[in-house]
Chains A and B, each alone.
Chain A
């Protein structure tokens, strides 16, 4: 028998991604838990034990059944028109009414059969061209055939999902832009990386995936704690978190000036979490909740927030009675636990500070909602020479300023401001063309390489380098004339 690698089969407690057509949704795999996805509801119970990549049919009662490969049956005598000169839109070509279709659905008739009936009851179907028939069937199948595929999370899938579903949470960072960041940043096993992001932890997850648990990452976070909702969707094994450190941005200045101490933490995460809970859903900044840093079970799958919350509240209610009985004991334990947590947090903070102070990081990745210039000017101090850095910004203008400021500072070369365009294609026999819509923008990147910073940096040779990289308008004109 072939030995199977872990992670090939769907297990209870996994983070999985549901896929229907081009639509994705990340969910935790739990038994007896109702999932709503693309207007269908079902339970994942039956999926457990199957391999990732399996396509399931949703049957009555919300059960999942692996889809049987069916041969295309209706290809006996293909009848088709050559053009649409005689096809008139009278709105009556479909003989089945809405009620008829609903009745079919209610009877629990399989999607495939409904599609077949729709074709048979379409008076114009036979007159349509072969291509139009194909398109018609595809459209109806998409609507009536209730199939979903369960896939394993990856940067590819999660970044595509986030860009489609919640672009605002990741600052409109398109997946191909993220791909550029990982390559430009030379992210690989063994690196010591600094990551500063406000992309729900997606960029962090992408970096973690590429490092495969080798090396270390220091996540710089604004506010009270790092957001790792998307990171938890990756389902990384526990050891991946052993060398994941975090450090508050608000302490960067004191660390650089040498006045850093762990005595004053940015703010108590637990108090903060309480405030968040009270204002539940009212604040935009709910994202900055601290649940992830406390290493709680990954119920924060972002695409599942509603269900997750429902589940949590019922759990809490059930335990309420027991809670009250042991209140005294609990309280004491809570205090001790809180102290322990505080102590552990301090220890982790000291560790992260020590790592930063070595000033030998192998790279810097920034993708945040903040202005990139101050972030970069400070964090580059922690990066070793001859290492790449990449900054993402949704807008080009802040990166123009950042570019100028970096040139003034020195210690960086090969600065490049870029953007990628992504074009998808439909490839079908005799019907290949670019897809009708494409993304308008996926953000901008400023990348470069650090070098040893000069002592007297405003010497003339350096000025020359500056001139070299920024051609004057006049020189540009001369170039124009040549062409």
Chain B
């Protein structure tokens, strides 16, 4: 396995995703002789994982079972250890498309943070592209390097530990795209411009606050960027449910006196299908929005250097 290439079977040293059920999963580093505890019991790597097919059902010691999944940047994003606030796949998708990333693209990113976006960027630009990522926090930069090594993608990424606003990306005239997720992106626009190829490229800045966007847009204009465009993307997830709505008693059943009238005051009848209920309720499938959703992550500002 690797984050950039699918493999069929689980191998020693792989990072795999243990899937326990609805939205409940965690990453595991596969190692001979190691065991992993789950609520369904123990998973023994040597016998339960290594050599098995990705996507297999693995029975744990208590008889419960889990699925073992091949890692992808999206699964990693949902399960990675947070060292910072991270970008999620909804924003990442739009960033990737709007920056026009593809195999061979050279990308600059700052900050590296927890590496959520980094993994997605590396996946997209592999096998011939490269990511130059800058993180001013030494410990985070180190941790990111370690993860990239573990995930078999370190040949596609260079992590630099410096302040992007002061020292830039450490490269110039090389990038097809630049991404900024830092508190003061307007201070890095000049560096972004010089990191981009002379022939041009795309830039994106992610900021939670509109005041940050304002200053960034002004800086982009000042540095001659065109096509400046700010947008926001929101994910709406729906639960698929079978809903039954009761038909109210309008006195019709009594009048009809058909003998199969329903008793709406008896809640125990609900949920169990029966002749009574078929008359008394209407069933349908619905996509029900979650009670709470993410209302704002950040504004994405895109622009072109041409």
State the A residues within 8 Å of B (CB). 2, 4-5, 8, 51, 53-54, 154-156, 159, 175-176, 178-180, 182-184, 186, 188-191, 209-214, 360, 362, 384-388, 396-397, 399-401, 403-404, 413-425, 427, 429, 432, 444, 449-452, 454, 461, 465, 468-474, 476, 479-480, 483
Contacts and interface: CB of A to CB of B under 8 A. Distances in A.
B89 to A, nearest CB: 6
Contacts of B301: 427
Contacts of B250: none
B200 A385 contact: no
Contacts of B239: 417, 470-471
Contact of B19 (A414, A432, A454, A474): A414
Given A180-B93, A420-B235, A425 B299 contact: yes
B61 interface: no
A318 to B, nearest CB: 39
In the complex, which of the residues A51, A184, A360, A386 has the most CB atoms of chain B within 10 Å of its own CB atom? A386
B237 A416 contact: yes
A235 to B, nearest CB: 13
A476 B244 CA distance: 13
B306 interface: yes
A198 B291 CA distance: 34
B243 interface: yes
A469 to B, nearest CB: 5
B6 interface: yes
B280 to A, nearest CB: 15
A2 B174 CA distance: 12
Contacts of B248: none
A473 B277 CA distance: 15
Given A179-B93, A183-B96, A425-B231, A418 B237 contact: yes
Nearest to B220: A427
Contacts of A396: 238, 287
B253 interface: no
B57 A182 contact: no
A471 B89 contact: no
Contact of B97 (A155, A416, A417, A483): A155
Interface of B: 4-6, 8, 19, 21-23, 53-57, 64-65, 67-70, 72-74, 89-90, 92-94, 96-98, 100, 102-104, 120, 123-124, 126-128, 198-200, 210, 213-214, 217-218, 228-244, 270-271, 285-287, 291, 299, 301, 304, 306
A341 B98 CA distance: 39
A417 B233 contact: no
Given A189-B103, A470-B241, A210 B299 contact: no
B40 to A, nearest CB: 10
Contacts of A418: 235-238
17 contacts: A5-B199, A53-B304, A179-B98, A189-B126, A189-B127, A212-B104, A360-B8, A385-B55, A387-B70, A388-B74, A413-B67, A414-B23, A421-B236, A425-B232, A450-B55, A452-B57, A483-B291
A471 B241 contact: yes
Contact of A403 (B8, B214, B240): B240
A452 B55 contact: yes
Nearest to A472: B271
Given A183-B120, A417-B287, 18 more contacts: A4-B199, A53-B200, A179-B96, A210-B103, A212-B102, A385-B53, A396-B238, A400-B285, A413-B67, A417-B237, A418-B236, A422-B233, A423-B233, A427-B210, A427-B228, A449-B19, A470-B239, A480-B291
A191 B6 contact: yes
Contacts of A461: 64-65
Given A451-B67, A474-B271, A386 B229 contact: no
A400 B97 contact: no
Given A427-B217, A472-B271, A387 B285 contact: no
Nearest to B271: A474
A412 to B, nearest CB: 10
A249 B306 CA distance: 43
B15 to A, nearest CB: 13
Contacts of A5: 199
A425 B212 CA distance: 14
Contact of B214 (A154, A176, A178, A432): A432
B238 A423 contact: no
A399 B92 CA distance: 24
A468 B21 CA distance: 7
B291 A413 contact: no
Q: Across chains A and B, which 4 residue pairs bring their CB atoms closest together, nearest first?
A: A385-B55, A212-B103, A386-B55, A53-B306
A186 B98 CA distance: 17
Nearest to A461: B65
A400 B287 CA distance: 7
A180 B103 CA distance: 18
A456 to B, nearest CB: 12
A420 B300 CA distance: 15
A191 B198 CA distance: 32
A454 B65 CA distance: 12
Contact of A2 (B198, B231, B241): B198
Given A179-B94, A384-B8, A427-B214, A451 B235 contact: no
Given A421-B236, A473-B241, A188 B126 contact: yes
A188 B124 contact: yes
A423 B94 CA distance: 12
A40 B96 CA distance: 33
A156 B19 CA distance: 34
B238 A156 contact: no
